[in-house]
């Protein structure tokens, strides 16, 4: 009701001229496959990311598929140079997707590359100079420790497993590569599939694979996108969600996981392209404020809650109204 009322109040709003889609860079890193069957599988997953990136008219870089002289330059060094170059001229949004196998020795988690591997700690160091909003997606086995190592503000971190001890081959990455460009994953019906929605779809499909024939599940994906790593060394599992909303509360009343990931769109819908870059930034900030306010509802008096709600919904309604103006 509040949202409808706000839309009515803003019926005369004018839209700003549409601007180009904000710059987005996607880096897909394909690790050492080990066996021919995995080499083909990982290449297919990378191709799906390339196709989705092309639909969104973003830049795409793939490391690890072309033939290479590892004696001259290993894939780890290529990744380092690629990230260093982006730090000089950062995009608005960066996606780093790791496809392959991982290992964990009880202390260090690694993503297996051709040549020397890269640890979660080193990847965090390489990403540190980049201030742009970033999604790091580790589709490998034993990837859970990457969440705690990489989680911070302005980042989404996904891992295929909940710990370093889930070391069997992870299938999650295949399902995610399908979901990221699939409109069928659009849970909130806004005409586009977000990273959150793709992750939820992939996590569900992964679980369904293990449920069939009563297999023992050896991977449980995690997400962190509020920078707190859930406060206990873990991210948030997919079964904490119903639709795109959390059904369990975090330890405090801060922004819940999922809100920021739902604002990462690789293939934007037509309505999103109507908004200017400034409007998109304002909308995203207001939606995060709204999610945080909902977390605080139980601690606020009704009047205070409604006043804060109105202060968020009025400007948000104006932005939504501009999307409905004739193009």
pLDDT tier for residue 152 given thresholds of 50, 70 and 90: very high
Picking from 210, 255, 218, the residue whose alpha carbon sits closest to that of residue 236 is 255
What is the three-class DSSP state of 225?
coil
Average pLDDT, the chain: 85
Q: Which of 199-203, 213-217, 253-257, 305-309 has the lowest mean pLDDT?
A: 253-257
pLDDT at 21 over 60: no
**What average pLDDT does this structure show over 321-326?**
63
- C-alpha 311/C-alpha 308 separation (Å) is 5
Residue 35 Cα distances to 10, 32, 50, 268, angstroms: 59, 9, 23, 36
Q: Which of 47-51, 196-200, 312-316 has the lowest mean pLDDT?
A: 312-316
pLDDT tier for residue 271 given thresholds of 50, 70 and 90: low
- C-alpha 180/C-alpha 195 separation (Å) is 7
pLDDT of residue 254: 59
Relative to beta strand 93-99, strand 24-30 is: parallel
Relative to beta strand 59-63, strand 93-99 is: unpaired
Q: Which of 40-49, 67-76, 118-127, 318-327 has the lowest mean pLDDT?
A: 318-327
Picking from 154, 183, 173, 175, the residue whose alpha carbon sits closest to that of residue 267 is 183
pLDDT tens digits for 162-177? Answer: 999 999 999 999 999 9
Phi-psi region of 33 (alpha: psi -120 to 50; beta: other; left: phi over 0): alpha
Percentage of the chain beyond pLDDT 90 is 61
Cα 202 to the center of its chain, rounded Å? 12
* HSE-up of residue 79 (Cα within 13 Å, Cβ side): 30
pLDDT at 6 over 50: no
Q: Regarding predicted confidence, which is higher, 68 or 25?
A: 25
CATH 1.10.1760 describes domain 23-267: no
Q: Regarding predicted confidence, which is higher, 61 or 72?
A: 61
């Amino acid at each position: 009701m509040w949202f409808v009322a706000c839309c009515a109040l803003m019926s005369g709003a004018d839209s700003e001229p549409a601007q180009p889609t904000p710059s987005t860079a996607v880096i897909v890193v394909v690790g050492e496959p080990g066996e021919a069957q995995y080499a083909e599988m990982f290449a297919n997953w990378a191709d799906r990311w390339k196709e989705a990136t092309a639909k969104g008219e973003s830049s795409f870089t793939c490391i690890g598929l072309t033939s290479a002289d590892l004696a001259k330059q290993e894939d780890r060094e290529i990744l380092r140079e690629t990230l260093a170059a982006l730090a000089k001229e950062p995009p608005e949004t960066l996606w780093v997707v790791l496809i392959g196998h991982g290992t964990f020795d009880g202390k260090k988690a690694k993503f297996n590359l051709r040549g020397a591997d890269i640890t979660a700690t080193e990847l965090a160091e390489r990403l540190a100079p980049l201030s742009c909003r970033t999604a790091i997606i580790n589709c490998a086995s034993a990837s859970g420790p990457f969440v705690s190592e990489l989680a911070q503000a302005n980042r989404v971190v996904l891992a295929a497993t909940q710990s370093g001890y889930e070391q069997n081959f992870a299938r999650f990455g295949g399902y995610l590569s399908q979901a990221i460009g699939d409109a069928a994953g659009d849970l909130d019906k806004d005409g586009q599939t977000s990273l959150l929605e793709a992750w939820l779809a992939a996590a569900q499909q992964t679980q369904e694979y293990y449920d069939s024939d009563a297999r023992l599940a050896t991977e449980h994906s995690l997400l962190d996108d509020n920078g707190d790593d859930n406060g206990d060394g873990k991210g948030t599992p997919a079964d904490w969600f119903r639709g795109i909303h959390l059904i369990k509360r975090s330890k405090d009343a801060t922004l819940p996981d999922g809100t920021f990931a739902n604002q990462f769109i690789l293939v934007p819908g037509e309505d999103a392209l109507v908004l200017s870059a400034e409007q998109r930034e304002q909308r995203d900030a207001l939606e995060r404020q709204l999610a945080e306010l909902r977390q605080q509802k139980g601690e606020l008096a009704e009047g205070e809650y409604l006043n804060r709600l109105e202060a968020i919904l009025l400007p948000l309604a104006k932005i939504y109204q501009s999307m409905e103006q004739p193009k």
